Structure 1
Amino acid sequence: MRIITGIYKGRHFDIPRSFKARPTTDFAKENIFNVLNSYIDFEGINALDLFSGTGSISLELVSRGCEHVVSVEMDRDHHKFITECLKKLDTDVCLPLRGDVFRYIKSCKQQFDFIFADPPYALKELPTIPGLIFEKNLLKDGGILVFEHGKEHDFSNAPHFVEHRSYGSVNFSIFRKEATASL
């Protein structure tokens, strides 16, 4: 796994073979971040990485200058790996949390400029996640959600949907929280 760009560009981390996680491929990650550059400037923002897996996206967000990143992963070994990678980078910008994503979403009182969610493709609750994120108001006005999923799901008619991108078997649906008008 490698960091594509930013202050840690080119850094590699070897993922243990025993991991069950399916990290977003470097090809897909590079392409979706190229698309995202027209939506958001990562410098100085708050970001949330749900179902962090190997931490590939969290590390990319740290490298791209996010002010604060919260990384939520349930698996003990994956969480430990993310923590070790952050120690190697000698950064405290990312807070790796070990816990259930659904519990986190339901109890979170913070809002983020950017959220990346990459649940296991076979997760039965997968289709509910974008709606839950908006229902719990986790995005700031103008905030972006990138939702990674398999090809069997179509979110093009979902509220807040902006566009869909596909890179091989990896699909991304992009959502934006519209700015609310102030009275």
Structure 2
Amino acid sequence: MRIISGIHKSRKIVAPKNLPVRPTTDMAKESLFNILNNHFYFDEISVLDLFAGTGNISYEFASRGTEQITSVDQDFGCIKFINQTAEKFDMPINTIKSDVFKYLEKTTQKANVIFADPPYAFSEELFTRIPELVFQNNLLLEDGLLIIEHSKHTDLSNLKHFGYSKSYGGNKFSFFEAD
């Protein structure tokens, strides 16, 4: 994986092979950040990266100037890798080792962008829990976005707060906004 833009543009990051992850492809990530670039000034927002995995999305926000980034993952190896990479590149990424659903149930931390990249094999019920918890606990700041990455075969358009979706290859991003 590589960082697409910002102060660390073109840097390659090689994650250990043993991590239980599926990083967002560079093509999909570039397209996502082109959309986000039209909504936000990256140096003025806070980000919550759920199911952070390798930290791929967090690194991209950090490279573009975001100072408040929290990455949540339940895998110790993923958290360790994100911490090592953030330290190596002097990125302001705070990590939390936790089950994402338990974290969302308890946190009061609000963000402008909440990005969730759960396993593609999640049941519809588990996908539904993500926006339910985010909106029930009022975790998005005003004009914020919840973005869920999933397979193009998964349809989240029936969920409350759904705005629109964009597909890139086998990846699909569904965007949710507060009413």
TM bracket (short chain): over 0.9
Contact 2:128-2:159 within 8 A present in 1 as well: no
State the SS of the aligned residue for 1:11: coil
**Maintained 8 Å contact 2:164/2:174:** yes
Q: Does 1:96 align with 2:112?
A: no
2:55 and 2:67 map into 1 onto residues whose CA distance is 17
Q: Does 1:79 align with 2:79?
A: yes
Query: Hey, what does 2:148 align to over in structure 1?
Result: 147
Unaligned runs of 5+ in 1: 179-183
Partner of 1:5: 5
| Greater Cα shift, 154-163 or 67-76 | 154-163
Q: What letter is aligned with 1:111?
A: K
RMSD in angstroms over aligned alpha carbons?
A: 1.3
Could you tell me how far apart the structure 2 residues matched to 1:86 and 1:99 are? Answer: 18
Between the aligned partners of 1:100 and 1:70, the Cα distance in structure 2 is 14
Displacement, 1:165?
Answer: 0.5
How does the TM-score come out when normalised to structure 1?
0.91
Q: Which residue of structure 2 aligns with residue 161 of structure 1?
A: 162
Alignment partner, residue 49 of structure 2: 49
Partner of 1:177: 178
Runs of 5+ unmatched residues, structure 2 = none
Percent of aligned positions that are identical: 46
Inter-partner Cα distance in structure 2 for 1:153 and 1:130: 15
Q: CA–CA distance in 2 between the matches of 1:36 and 1:68?
A: 16
Q: 4+ runs of 1 displaced by more than 4 Å?
A: none
Distance 2:145 2:80 in 1: 28
Partners in 1 of 2:70 and 2:112 — Cα distance? 12
Deviations 1:34-75 (A, max 9, x none): 122222222221110000000000111111111200000111
1:175 Cα offset (Å): 1.3
Query: What is the identity, as a one-letter code, of the residue corresponding to 2:84?
Result: E
Distance 1:136 1:94 in 2: 23
Residue by residue over 1:120-175, the C-alpha shift from the partner in whole angstroms, topping out at 9 and shown as x without a partner, is 11123123212221111110111011110112322223222221100111010011
Under a length normalisation based on structure 2, what TM-score does the superposition of the two structures give? 0.93
Q: State how many pairs are aligned.
A: 177
Paired residues of 2:2 and 2:13 also in contact (CA < 8 A): yes
Question: 3-state SS of the aligned residue for 2:71?
Answer: strand
8 Å Cα contact 1:49/1:69 also seen in 2: yes
- In structure 2, the residue matched to 1:105 is 104
SS at match of 2:105: helix
Answer yes or no: is the 8 Å Cα contact 1:140–1:177 preserved in 2. Answer: no
